[in-house]
Structure 1
Amino acid sequence: MKFGIMASHQYPHTDDLGKHLSDLFGTVELAAELGYDSVWTINHFQSNLATPQPISMMASLIPRSGNMTLGTGILLLPLFHPVHVAEEFASLDHLSGGRVVLGVGAGYRENEFAAFGIDPDTRFRRLDESLRLIRALWSGQTVYQEGEFYPLSGASIGVRPLTPGGPPIWVGAGGRKAVRRAARLGDAWYAPGNSPNPRFLPDQLAVYDDALVESGKDPATVERPVGVELYCAPTTEQAVEEALPHARTEYATYAEYPALRWQRDRFDDLVANTLLLGSPEFLIERISALRDLGFNHIIFRPGWLGMPTEKVRASLRLFASEVFPAFR
């Protein structure tokens, strides 16, 4: 079982961004020392929170992350040209010594698509075409493609990736069609673990596994990451007391976007079914359930808006010392 953290570089616009980033870099360095396996950056444009862009963040984290895998969780691929992404991630692959994962998704915020003049109804077709084109460019061959959005003739990239064939591609997806797309086009499905529906993960895993077989892939060989919200304290009562107010604030901020209003309305369901706030014993039980479903890479946000850095780091230390041994 692997464990990774979301860098979660989102902050109120009125805060000191430099101070937050300095604290974040220190937290990532600590996570590397503690033996965490991966660190993930996020991507939003015109956000209601100050959100440094993920490719820049990944480059900054390379020298601070030890041997950890670095990835985007996730890059809003329809808002980028695939040639740009292919070049950037080939470069990051070299700079990191082959530690990069390209995590992608289709996006959901209407203001982001409007800012780039992109019809959101085209986002899944753009995602599909982009992934095929990125893989073709990473092959090192000259590419000819009569695409709907990104036609290329005699194209090649200036930097070929260090990893043969390019970095792994993880596809974030929630709906059945999107999960099937993740099986067809990705190396892993980056599963969202914050659905208030307790049947979401097992039902979608079944869809994913069926689609893997249809695509000629062996379900036993793929990495199975899931993103969750997690905070560890000596007792579950302490974990809830310290973390829940900050998680509530962050989710209320997300809920300002129409597509996520349900998170405000069903926050109590999220707390009951998906927010892993608890003692080491509680977390071992909940993570064991995810392992039993087949997940083998738990990626979690270690803190939320306004949470003191020392609390975040105390949680990471306790989790590493008391929970890691149960799964390694």
Structure 2
Amino acid sequence: MKFGIMASHQYPHDEDLGKHLDDLFGTVELAAELGYDSVWTINHFQSNLATPQPISMMAALIPRSGTMTLGTGILLMPMFHPVHIAEEFATLDHLSGGRVVLGVGAGYRENELAAFGIDPPTRFRRLDESLKLIRALWTGEPVTTEGGLYPQTDARIGIRPLTPGGPPIWVGAGSKRAVRRAARLGDAWYAPGNAPSPRYLPEHLAVYDAALEEYGKSTVDRPIGLELYCAPTTERAVDEALPQARTEYSTYAEYPALRWQSDRFDELIRNTLALGSPEYLIERLSTLRDMGFNHIIFRPGWLGMPAEMVRASLRLFATEVFPAFR
């Protein structure tokens, strides 16, 4: 099983961004030394938190991440032109020595879609057409597309990816329909681990597996995103992490699509947030492993959590939990 961390580069607007980024870079360097497998950047626009953009962040993390995979978790694909993303990720593929993953999603925040003049129902078509065009461009061969949102005539990418065929594409998806789309378009479904219902993962995994079979596909990577904090005891983990987690989730709940997270925060904690001792986390993650997930990607800290606490959690998790899964 692999383990990765979300870079989680979101901060209050009135705080020192440079200091926060220095802390983040140090945490990523530590994660590389500890043997973590991947690091993931996030993407939002016109956010209520200061959020540096993911492609720039990936470039900054390349020399700080050792041999870790670098990816977007996730890039809001409808807000970008696919030619731009094809060129950027081909470049990142070379700069990183072939260590990048393009993680994408359709987006959900109304203000972001409005900022780019995107009619919300079209975002799924944009995602579909974008990924098809990106893959075609990554072949290095001339591409012609008639009609559609992104017409091309004998277009050829300016730089071919280092990885043959281009970097892997992971598709984030929540609904069953979107999970089927992830099976059709992606190399992996980046599953959300923050659904309060215990039925969510088994039901949606069944949909994903059935869609893979229908499309004649298979996948090696089975990633899932979690919220996780490790301390010597579960009581201490909850005491240390819960206030910051509650603050961060209340910030997300300012967006209409995520208000449920604030209203049902206690249920969210009980069913999804993995705050606990190494023994507790081994038990929780064993359940995910048994379901077939093989790449755990987690946010190691929340708004207001000092870097020292984040790093202590990462050290303890690497020392005590890694051996149970490797």
Coarse TM-score class (shorter-chain normalised): over 0.9
Q: CA deviation at 1:217?
A: 1.1
Structure 1 residue 88 corresponds to structure 2 residue 88 = yes
What residue number does 1:243 align with? 241
TM-score w.r.t. the length of structure 1 is: 0.99
Q: CA deviation at 1:177?
A: 1.0
Three-state SS of the structure 1 residue aligned to 2:249 is: helix
What residue number does 1:324 align with? 322
What residue number does 1:109 align with? 109
Structure 1 residue 183 corresponds to structure 2 residue 183 = yes
What residue number does 2:280 align with? 282
What residue number does 1:315 align with? 313
Q: CA deviation at 1:222?
A: 2.3
Alignment of 1:63-74 (within 5 A): 63-74=63-74
What residue number does 1:46 align with? 46
Provide the identity percentage: 83
Three-state SS of the structure 1 residue aligned to 2:225 is: strand
Q: CA deviation at 1:305?
A: 0.1
What residue number does 1:137 align with? 137
Q: Which runs of 5+ in 1 are unaligned?
A: none
- In 2, Cα distance between equivalents of 1:123 and 1:57: 24
What residue number does 1:203 align with? 203
User: What whole-Å deviation, never above 9, does each CA across 1:225-260 have from its counterpart, x for those lacking one?
Assistant: 000000000000000000000000000000000000
- In 2, Cα distance between equivalents of 1:168 and 1:215: 18
- In 2, Cα distance between equivalents of 1:15 and 1:321: 32
- In 2, Cα distance between equivalents of 1:224 and 1:80: 26
- In 1, Cα distance between equivalents of 2:184 and 2:161: 22
Q: How many residues align?
A: 326
What residue number does 1:292 align with? 290
- In 2, Cα distance between equivalents of 1:305 and 1:54: 18
TM-score w.r.t. the length of structure 2 is: 0.99
User: What whole-Å deviation, never above 9, does each CA across 1:11-64 have from its counterpart, x for those lacking one?
Assistant: 000000000000000000000000000000000000000000000000000000
Partner AA of 1:188 in structure 2: A
What residue number does 2:14 align with? 14
User: What whole-Å deviation, never above 9, does each CA across 1:135-155 have from its counterpart, x for those lacking one?
Assistant: 000011100002421111111
- In 1, Cα distance between equivalents of 2:138 and 2:71: 17
Q: Which runs of 5+ in 2 are unaligned?
A: none
User: What whole-Å deviation, never above 9, does each CA across 1:39-90 have from its counterpart, x for those lacking one?
Assistant: 0000000000000000000000000000000000000000000000000000
What RMSD over aligned residues (CA atoms) do the two structures have, in Å?
A: 0.5
Partner AA of 1:316 in structure 2: L
User: What whole-Å deviation, never above 9, does each CA across 1:145-201 have from its counterpart, x for those lacking one?
Assistant: 024211111111101000000000000000111100100110000000000011101
- In 1, Cα distance between equivalents of 2:146 and 2:208: 29
What residue number does 1:122 align with? 122
What residue number does 2:266 align with? 268
What residue number does 2:25 align with? 25
Is the CA contact (8 Å cut-off) linking 1:129 and 1:147 kept in structure 2? no
Match 1:301 to one of 283, 299, 302: 299
- In 2, Cα distance between equivalents of 1:177 and 1:5: 27
